[in-house]
């Protein structure tokens, strides 16, 4: 997405100026409107709990990862853009790469994740962005939640911003690994109660990473369970 006339962002350059974190911009806004209509019809898409997100200020969104659809599904109900971490090799794919480069994506090399990616993520949080991360690191092979990679813990410790757990259900059934056809099925997204900065400060040292990872895993898993229950019964969760 562009920054209101100043040209597209170049997320690979840490020194480049960042656009306003509250402005979705024309590409993001257009895709959002188109996909909202399509997903609501084809996937019966519904989301809840996103009203909890602060209207301004940086925050980290941590979600389970079922499908290539996940960044779209998480960002769809929000009136703020989300800057997602994306595999660096995706930015060289025609069309997809252009969209990622113009919708705030941050490239990360999964084979050699660097401190530059960590610094850029924290820079965007401090700038006021919502930053989206899938801590499993890759898509689930069976739709279930995989073990969380520990890399996100360093972001949580150093950034000192709220963390919002998110559960995705139905995306695996709609577009599993190695599938290129979007199957009609129910998809539900649940945004859970945030972990506040005060809560997260209890895990300020690296020695507490295991406890922090388990806390986040538990909160995401609760959102996943609520989303799956909503998907299968049709009844939205009372609270998560």
pLDDT tens profile 81-98: 999 987 777 778 777 788
Residue 148 · residue 135 · CB < 8 Å? yes
Report the chain's mean pLDDT, rounded to a whole number.
88
Q: What is the pLDDT of residue 201?
A: 94
Mean pLDDT, to the nearest integer, of 30-35?
94
* Residue 33, domain member (yes or no): no
Residue that the structure tokens 């019964």 belong to: 233
Q: Name the domain count of the chain.
A: 1
* Residue 39, domain member (yes or no): no
**Is 70 exceeded by the pLDDT of residue 47?**
yes
The count of other CB atoms within 10 Å of the CB of residue 35 is 18
* Residue 22, domain member (yes or no): no
Which string of DSSP letters, residue by residue, matches 136-157? T-S--SSSS--PPPTHHHHHHH
> Is 120 or 108 the better-scoring residue by pLDDT?
120
Mean pLDDT, to the nearest integer, of 29-46?
95
Residue 216: domain span: 48-233
The count of other CB atoms within 10 Å of the CB of residue 8 is 16
Q: pTM higher than 0.85, yes or no?
A: yes
Mean pLDDT, to the nearest integer, of 5-33?
72
* Residue 29, domain member (yes or no): no
pLDDT band at 15 (very low <50, low <70, confident <90, very high): low
**Rounded Cα distance, 209 and 184, in Å:** 39
**Rounded Cα distance, 135 and 213, in Å:** 9
Structure tokens at 165: 């757990």
- Residue 159: CATH number of its domain: 3.40.1130.10
Tens of pLDDT, residue by residue over 139-178, are 999 999 999 999 899 999 999 999 999 999 999 999 998 8
Residue 142 · residue 172 · CB < 8 Å? yes
Structure tokens at 179: 């599938």
**Rounded Cα distance, 206 and 197, in Å:** 16
Structure tokens at 149: 């990679």
b/e burial code for range 96-126 (CB count within 10 A of at least 16 → b): ebebbbbbbbbbbeeeeeeeebbebbbbbbe
Burial classification of residue 3, based on how many CB atoms lie within 10 Å of its CB (0-12 exposed, 13-18 middle, 19 or more buried): middle
* Residue 80, domain member (yes or no): yes
Q: What is the pLDDT of residue 106?
A: 85
Query: Dihedral (C-alpha) 42, 138, 192, 43: value to the nearest 10 degrees?
Result: 0
* Residue 5, domain member (yes or no): no
Selection from 14, 141, 31 nearest residue 81 by Cα: 31
Q: What is the pLDDT of residue 39?
A: 96
* Residue 21, domain member (yes or no): no
* Residue 2, domain member (yes or no): no
Q: What is the pLDDT of residue 110?
A: 59
């Amino acid at each position: 997405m562009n920054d209101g006339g100043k040209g597209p962002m170049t997320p690979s350059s840490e020194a480049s100026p960042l656009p306003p974190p509250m402005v979705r911009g024309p590409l993001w806004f257009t895709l959002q409107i188109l996909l909202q209509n399509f997903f609501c019809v084809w996937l019966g898409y519904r989301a809840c709990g996103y009203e909890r997100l602060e209207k301004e200020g940086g925050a980290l969104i941590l979600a389970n990862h079922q499908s290539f659809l996940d960044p779209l599904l998480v960002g769809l109900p929000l009136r703020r853009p989300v800057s997602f971490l994306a595999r660096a090799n995706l930015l060289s794919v025609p069309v997809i790469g252009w969209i990622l480069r113009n919708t705030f994506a941050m490239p990360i090399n999964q084979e050699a994740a660097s401190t530059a990616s960590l610094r850029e993520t924290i820079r965007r949080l401090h700038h006021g962005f919502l930053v989206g991360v899938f801590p499993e690191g890759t898509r689930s092979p069976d739709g279930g939640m995989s073990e969380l990679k520990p890399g996100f813990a360093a972001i949580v410790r150093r950034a000192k911003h709220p963390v919002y757990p998110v559960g995705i259900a139905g995306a695996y059934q709609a577009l599993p690994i190695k599938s290129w056809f979007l199957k009609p099925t129910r998809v539900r997204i649940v945004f859970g109660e945030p972990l506040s900065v005060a809560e997260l400060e209890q895990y300020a040292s690296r020695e507490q990473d295991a406890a922090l990872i388990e806390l986040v895993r538990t909160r995401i898993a609760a959102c996943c369970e609520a989303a799956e229950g909503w998907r299968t019964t049709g009844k939205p969760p009372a609270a998560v």
